[in-house]
Chain A
Amino acid sequence: MMEVTSERRGTTVIINTAGRVDGSNASDFQDALEANIGADDTAVILNLAALDYISSAGLRIILLSAKNLRQRDVGFSICSLSSSVHELFIISGFDQIIAIHSSPETALAAQS
């Protein structure tokens, strides 16, 4: 079960993902991310506060999005990771290439 919603702060879009992202719904996750990012957005913050679990297939989608957005000069960061999800970002080394913040507010502050 996965749910993706979004809210706007100026030209920054905050995308909230809840539930589980794994091999069975990774492509839905990718579609949902793309659908929530507008052509004029200058930054994307992925809020994972309500994310229970993410598998390597889900990590791959985050990586793909981060790279695509970087090419378009759109900022990308993630925030509000649970300790188990944060652990996964540390083990995978993704914390070395993707900015991680403790809350949407600190992520927003870092954008400006």
Chain B
Amino acid sequence: MAEATYKILVVDDEVDLQPLMLQRMRRDIRSGRYSFVFAHNGIEALEKLNEDDTIDMVLSDINMPQMDGLTLLEQIPSVDPNIKSVIVSAYGDMKNIRTAMNRGAFDFVTKPLDFADLRITIERTLAHLTEWRAALASRDQLVSLQRELDVASKMQKSILPTRFPQRDDFEVFAHMEPARNVGGDFYDIIQLDGGRLGLCIADVSDKGVPAALFMMSSRTLLKGASIGCENPGDVLREVNDLLRETNDTEMFVTLLYGIYDPATGDFNYANGGHNEPLLIKPDGSSSLIPRTGGIILGVMAGMEFADNTINIGPGDTLFLYTDGVSEAMNVTAEEFGMERLAGIFADTPPSDAEETTMSVFEAVHAFAGETPQSDDITCLTLHRSESGS
């Protein structure tokens, strides 16, 4: 069966973009995966949306004559509230990105366009759109909470990156296994300038569709803030304040965000109430990285977040995880605990990010046995090569 065709409306006043887009996306067009429609400003875009109700998503520039992208964003819901929009903005233009996110943009990409990155963003948006439509279709006929939770879990899966940096000098791998009744963990890996990498792990309180939606906005806000702010403490302050603006259900998220610089091995991080990661030395010994004292995000506006820097030396491994690991329980209601976790690394010092990540899942499953998993389990491993530089 052929994959569904998705129609994407590209809105940009630069005339060169149209041939470039058609050229760079030609394989996806030929395979029937994407088709493109073009408009050169917001007014033209709204006309196209009115004429053609098969458009699935909008990719729009911000600065355009007649009607700009931010005004267009405001207008789109009145034409079709279920269209997902992705905004193209100048690198680091936090003010416009913020406005766009507040006006309902699903995601953004930065100029100059990286088409590989754009394709990933489009796929993620379309995956979300598919789940969103499934959620809408089943909303009226949800017969049980379980059904809703399935939807939440699929929404959760649709936003997690599944491709990881694998380089001679370092590699990253991450994995999440949802519990049946929860949808709240997520991780993200964000390419920053200067070859640096933003890493995030997070755990939303509560479960179900509301938690999944909260997770979506946390992730989007984090991505925006990580590009707009230099310092992880400022990133968390920004995300926390933005989450507070629209949070009346008192949901919250524990979130650790850090920036890894492969040139030096430095990891500069701030922690919003999340479990402290482990730094594992080449001999398998491990220790918790220092606390930074930040509060969980979404609880109270105006909080400050301190940051700290550790050095990940050659052969060292940084292991981020959620409490689904440390608090996994066995049949006698005993917790997996930090000692067992450290024991895995002591027995087999990490040398491969994927192997290390999956070995933790195996150990937790073996420990839990028949006990049903009560919380999402998420691990993210960064391994710096012994020799590579």
Contact = CB atoms under 8 A, between A and B. Distances in A.
A24 B329 CA distance: 14
Given A56-B323, A91-B275, A91-B291, 16 more contacts: A22-B374, A23-B375, A57-B205, A59-B296, A60-B206, A63-B252, A91-B276, A92-B295, A93-B273, A93-B295, A93-B299, A94-B273, A94-B295, A94-B296, A96-B295, A97-B299
Q: Would you call the interface of chain A mostly helix, strand, loop, or mixed?
A: helix
Interface residues of A, number: 17
Interface string A2-31: 000000000000000000001110000000
A63 B254 CA distance: 14
- The 9 A-B pairs at the shortest CB distance, nearest first, are namely A93-B295, A92-B273, A56-B205, A60-B205, A64-B250, A92-B296, A93-B273, A96-B295, A93-B296
A23 B203 contact: no
Contacts of A55: 323, 327, 375
B125 interface: no
B100 interface: no
A59 B206 CA distance: 10
B299 A63 contact: yes
Interface string A90-112: 01111011000000000000000
Contacts of B254: 56, 92
B130 to A, nearest CB: 28
A59 B274 CA distance: 13
A64 B247 CA distance: 12
* Of A23, A56, A59, most B-chain CB atoms within 10 Å: A56
Nearest to B273: A92
Interface of A: 22-24, 55-57, 59-60, 63-64, 67, 91-94, 96-97
Contacts, number: 57
B181 interface: yes
A92 B296 CA distance: 5
A67 B207 CA distance: 21
Contacts of A96: 295, 303
A92 B252 CA distance: 10
A92 B181 CA distance: 23
Contacts of B295: 92-94, 96-97
Given A91-B275, A91-B291, A97 B182 contact: no
Contact of A60 (B252, B300, B323): B252
30 contacts: A22-B374, A23-B182, A23-B375, A55-B323, A56-B203, A56-B252, A56-B323, A60-B206, A60-B250, A60-B252, A63-B250, A63-B252, A63-B299, A64-B250, A67-B250, A91-B274, A91-B275, A91-B276, A92-B254, A92-B296, A93-B273, A93-B294, A93-B296, A93-B299, A94-B273, A94-B295, A94-B299, A96-B295, A96-B303, A97-B299
